[in-house]
Amino acid sequence: MAESVSVIRFEDVDPEFKRRVMAIPGADKLTYCFQCGTCTAACPIGRRVEEFRPRIIARMAILGLKKPLLAGELLWLCAGCYACQERCPQQVKPTDVIAALRNIAVQEGLIHPSLKMKTELIAKHGRLYEITEFENMMREEVNLPPVPEVKVDELRSLMRRVGLDKLIGIELGSGEG
Amino acid sequence: MKYALFLGCTIPARLNSYDASSRRVLEALGVEVVDLEGAGCCGTPDMESISHEMALAIAAWNISLAEEKGLDIMVLCNGCHEVLLKSNRMLKEDAKLRKKVNEILSEVGRKFQGTIEVKHMVKVLYEDVGVEKIREAVKKPFKGLRVAVHYGCHMLRPSELLRFDDPENPKILDELVNATGARSVEYPDKFECCGAPILAVNEELSNSIAKYKAQIARKYADVMVTACPFCFLQYEGCQVTGWEGEQIPVLHYPQLLGLALGLEYDDLAINENRIDASKVLEYL
């Protein structure tokens, strides 16, 4: 028989891992999963990407196959559309489980580069985009008032308070406003 | 009817057309909006991927700015809708979570009180104004225009917290379209995602999802209608490069409604849409 790559060895699993996932709000029913695959059937990404199977992700999380779960782009392909979550007969909340797994990936230093970039932009401008005089000029052309300014100092203080700078390695300033 | 208008990130930077058409239509129907000073990014579903706690804190901070004004929030973006409405409900219904988040907000001298509501513009039109009143306000009804509505995921889901409409069989946006005289059609995968959330992770995949739906929509309808900046950009964007055959125009819902109310094409900034939508005028 050809060597199988799908054999799971107990040395590779971490039975405590699921507890860490379930401690994050929304993911507390992870172990209710009975592998029916309704989530995968509902998934617009799974329909297009062979490796992306919410059912398998839930199974891997329960077993504690941490490494392959957190590696690469797998978790970041979820569109967060909640189609699976609406249909899961076990209230597993697969979308929230994947968000929880992403939180853990971030804690392990495995944040997706695009997400880090977006966060830096929000920390800098208070929005994903900088609003300059140009944008406000364009707005005037369609009779729109200028965009209100973001209290970005407050936003940054909140980010500092939850330790975002250390968590993902970005600059948030000194704390003096 | 007075709301604090929450613009978010994408609308003020990229879609004045959605902002302008929304304000024109709301004004015509007697809904007053004031810009929410100081507010920024809602927290985006992206922040939730980094830290559940931080995402809630950012949402709560934005909400607290509207609470201070004593105004309910109106959002135009489905992403803001998901984040702000979900957080608002979670924090109102979970005292422990509220306490935790308020500890973070104390850093900037703010507090989540739980005194206001968050509503999508579509819900404001449906509930506060009402389909009947809209129908009565229509001066130039469309005749024979077939519309493929795209609700967008985060208008409807997660339904447990958003409680917007029946998530498997919604009707609100269809009814609002029908009120203009146009006809909202059925089409396969009507309630599926536009692909926007993974644009920065895998552009090709994200684009292919939008393209798939736009191709279906083209088969069944004359125009697509959205009520979210991301969905709108996806459906226009996917038709700009590598698209074969005829394009299907995309309108923000208030642009469609505005035309039926008798407002001008350019006042609704439809001339700013990347795909020429002037053919809809033939149906008025």
CATH of the domain at B93: 1.20.1050.140
CB A27 within 8 A of CB A93: yes
Question: What's the pLDDT at A177?
Answer: 44
A155 and A95 within one domain? no
B92 and B159 within one domain? no
Looking at the complex, report in whole angstroms how far the Cα of residue A86 sits from the nearest Cα belonging to chain B.
Answer: 7
Residue in chain A closest to B50 (alpha carbons) equals: A103
Segments of chain A scoring below 70 in pLDDT: 1-5, 174-177
- Summarised one tens digit per residue, pLDDT across range B75-123 is 999 999 999 999 999 999 999 999 999 999 999 999 999 999 999 999 9
Give residues with Cβ within 8 angstroms of B25, minimum separation 6.
Answer: B125, B254, B257, B258, B261, B263, B268
Local confidence band at B45 (pLDDT 50, 70, 90 cut-offs): confident
Give the A:B interface size as CB pairs under 8 Å: 185
Interface test with A, best of B44, B51, B273 (most A CBs within 10 A): B51
Burial degree of B43 (CB within 10 A; 0-12, 13-18, 19+)? buried
Residue in chain A closest to B22 (alpha carbons) equals: A144
Contact A149 B202 (CB under 8 A): no
Question: What's the pLDDT at A1?
Answer: 43
A50 and A27 within one domain? yes
Residue span of the structural domain in which A155 resides:
113-168
- Give the Cα separation of B65 and B69 in Å (integer): 7
| Facing residue for A128 by CB, picked from B10, B209, B267 | B10
Contact B53 A152 (CB under 8 A): no
Asked whether residue B149 carries a pLDDT value surpassing 80, the answer given is yes
Question: What's the pLDDT at B241?
Answer: 87
Contact B200 A118 (CB under 8 A): yes
A28 and A81 within one domain? yes
Interface test with A, best of B41, B89, B209 (most A CBs within 10 A): B41
Contact A82 B40 (CB under 8 A): no
pTM over 0.90: yes
> Could you give the number of structural domains in chain B?
2
A73 and A50 within one domain? yes
Q: Where are the beta strands (DSSP E) in B116-246?
A: 118-120, 146-150, 183-184, 223-226
Residue in chain B closest to A154 (alpha carbons) equals: B108
Residue B14 with chain A: CB contacts under 8 Å: 129
* B32-35 sheet: strands from edge to edge: B32-35, B2-6, B72-75, B118-120
B151 and B115 within one domain? no
**Region B24-48 average pLDDT:** 96
Rounded to whole angstroms, what are the CA distances from B190 to A84, B196, B267?
16, 16, 30
The whole-chain average pLDDT of chain B stands at 97
A34 and A99 within one domain? yes
Interface test with B, best of A43, A48, A93, A151 (most B CBs within 10 A): A151
> Could you give the number of structural domains in chain A?
2
Question: What's the pLDDT at A8?
Answer: 84
Whether A175 maps to a domain, the answer reads no
- Summarised one tens digit per residue, pLDDT across range B111-121 is 999 999 999 99
Whether B148 maps to a domain, the answer reads yes
- Give the Cα separation of B64 and A151 in Å (integer): 13
Amino acid at A90: Q
ipTM of this predicted structure: 0.96
- Give the Cα separation of A84 and A32 in Å (integer): 15
- Summarised one tens digit per residue, pLDDT across range B222-279 is 999 999 999 999 999 999 988 999 999 999 999 999 999 999 999 999 999 999 999 9
Question: What's the pLDDT at A175?
Answer: 59
B114 and B141 within one domain? no
